Each structure stands twice: as C-alpha cells, then as structure tokens.
Amino acid sequence: MAYDQSVTHVPRGSEASVGMSLETKARICRYAIIAAVIAAWEIVPQLGLVPRLFLPSLSSTLAMLMAHSGDFAVQMLVTLQEVGMALVFACGFGILFGLWVGSTLTVRKALLPVVSALFAVPLVVLYPLFTAWFGIGSASKVVFASVYGLLPTVLGTAAGAQTIDRQLTQAARSMGATRLQQILWVTLPASVPTVLASFRLGGALVIVGVVVAEMMMSSAGIGFLLSKYRTQLNSSGVFAAIILILALAIGFDLAVQAIERRWAGGVRNKAARRPADAP
C-alpha cells in the first residue's frame, strides 16, 4: 500500500512545472512553425521552385509594402473606418438584440428560425443589391459588412442568453427592474463568455465583409487595392495587401482575447475575495 501511495502521489510543485513545460513547448512549437513558414516564403521563390508570379519572395513583398507605404496607409485607413462603423452596428446592436431574443421565449421561437435561415444564405450574392440601394461608396460596404457580422452575433448571443438561470431574471423582475434593465444588469453579465465569443466571430466576419465588398465593387480600401494589383498581375502588391488584412484580423482577435483575459481575471479575483469577505 505504501508503494502505491508513493507512486500516485505527485507534489504540487511538479504539477506546476509539468504545466509550465507543456506551455513552453507549445509556445516554442508555434514560433518554430511561424519561422519555418517565413523562411520557406523567402527561400522557395528564390530557388525558383515556384514561379514568382504565383508566390513572390517575402523580401520583394516587404519592399513593395515599403515603396508604396503611403498608398497602403491611405487605403488601410479607409478600411479601418468602414470596419469600425460596421462593428459598432453589427456587434453593438447584434449583442443587445441577441440578448433580447434569447431571454424572451415568444420572440425566440418567432425570430430565431428566421435569423438562422438568413445566416444560411450566401450574402455575397446579394451585394449588388446593396450597391444599387446605397451606391458604391462606403455606405454599401458598411451596411453589407454589418449584416454579414450581425447574424452570427445574434445567434451566438441568443444561445448564451438561453442558458442563464431564470431565477436571476425573476428576482430582478420582482424588485421592479424593467425589461431593458433585466437585459443589461442580469442577462448580459451572466452571458459574458458567450457574448465575447459571438463578438469575436461577428467581428471577424465584419472584416471579411468589408474586404470582400471592397474587392467586388469599390474605389477605395485595402480590398480595392488588392483587386487592383491582382488585375495588374502584381503578385508582390497582392501579397502586401494580404499581409495588411491578416494584421488587421489578428489584431482584432488579440484585442478580444485581451478582453476575455481581463474579464476572467476579474471573475477569479472576485471568487478569491469571497471567502475573505465572508463573516
């Protein structure tokens, strides 16, 4: 019996060290993959294994980005403005609307099937309608991207609102809280993890919607620049635009991750203070 206990017992310090080593290995592996991709991007075209028309070297892509940095900056600013406006509507309104739909049984049964059906429709084929209604300027791109990101935000937030304890909303109602107050003070805080996940998905689709709209029919934006370089067979310009689009998407995702970590840290701190505050 003593032998079994000695085998199964693992000190806490060793568990922490194992966890740290696994995390370190994962980080090293991730950086190694990134370094390998960057090296292959530079070496493969230089060796002529792939035609430069299909894959320009990383150095030529960065040179293109630096040589036309002013044009890239102007077009990127246009895209950022459009993404920002679309995010405010798609995620702001989508979260509130999703919380209302998810917390109201009648509305949920009436509207969720409609939203789900609309989400299944490939909205890209409807973009010509948006240009006919709003023109080829920023308005059509913002509206299109807003709708593109709105639907998954509503669906995800509504799914999270359905899972909260109904006793919480009943208690708020018994204390005289209005419907809006119940959504903002009870449903929203209880659904934060799902809301953030919906915000991440909706925001990513907003970026996709803006770039796709700029590529299809536009006169400004990083998507327009990508489409222009594509028609000119300027592969270095195409890849330079792709780098900026990837940077935008990764930056948004990192920002959402930071919000999630901050929220999770606040929850852990509150949980740790409760035993000390208890009489």
User: If residue 202 lies in a helix (H) or strand (E), which one and from where to where?
Assistant: helix 192-216
What total number of domains does the chain contain? 2
For 7-48, give the DSSP string: HH---HHHHHHHHHHHHHHHHHHHHHHHHHHHHHHHHHHHTT
Q: Is residue 86 part of a domain?
A: yes
What is the model's pLDDT at position 113? 84
| Among 99, 62, 98, residue whose Cα is nearest residue 247 | 62
Q: Residue 167 is part of a domain; what is its CATH number?
A: 1.10.3720.10
User: For 137-148, how does the pLDDT look when each residue is reduced to its tens digit (9 = 90+)?
Assistant: 888 899 999 988
**Residues 76 and 172 reside in one and the same domain:** yes
What is the model's pLDDT at position 3? 45
Q: Which residues contact 204 (CB under 8 A, 6 or more apart)?
A: 149, 249, 252, 253
Q: Which residues contact 253 (CB under 8 A, 6 or more apart)?
A: 200, 204
E-strand spans in the chain?
none
Q: Is residue 272 part of a domain?
A: no
| Structural domain range at position 75 | 58-265
Distances (CA, A) of 136 to 41, 62, 86, 132: 36, 30, 16, 8
**Residues 39 and 65 reside in one and the same domain:** no
User: For 99-132, how does the pLDDT look when each residue is reduced to its tens digit (9 = 90+)?
Assistant: 888 877 787 888 888 888 888 888 888 888 888 8
What does the block give as tokens for 70? 């002013």
What is the model's pLDDT at position 1? 43
User: For 180-227, how does the pLDDT look when each residue is reduced to its tens digit (9 = 90+)?
Assistant: 777 777 777 777 788 888 888 888 999 999 999 998 887 888 999 999
**Residues 138 and 236 reside in one and the same domain:** yes
**Residues 147 and 21 reside in one and the same domain:** no
Q: Which residues contact 53 (CB under 8 A, 6 or more apart)?
A: 233, 235
Q: Are 54 and 235 in contact (CB under 8 A)?
A: yes
**Residues 15 and 132 reside in one and the same domain:** no
**Residues 38 and 67 reside in one and the same domain:** no
Q: Are 102 and 161 in contact (CB under 8 A)?
A: yes
Please tell me the distance from the alpha carbon of residue 143 to that of residue 205, in angstroms, as a whole number. Answer: 13
**Residues 11 and 138 reside in one and the same domain:** no
Average pLDDT of the chain, as a whole number: 80
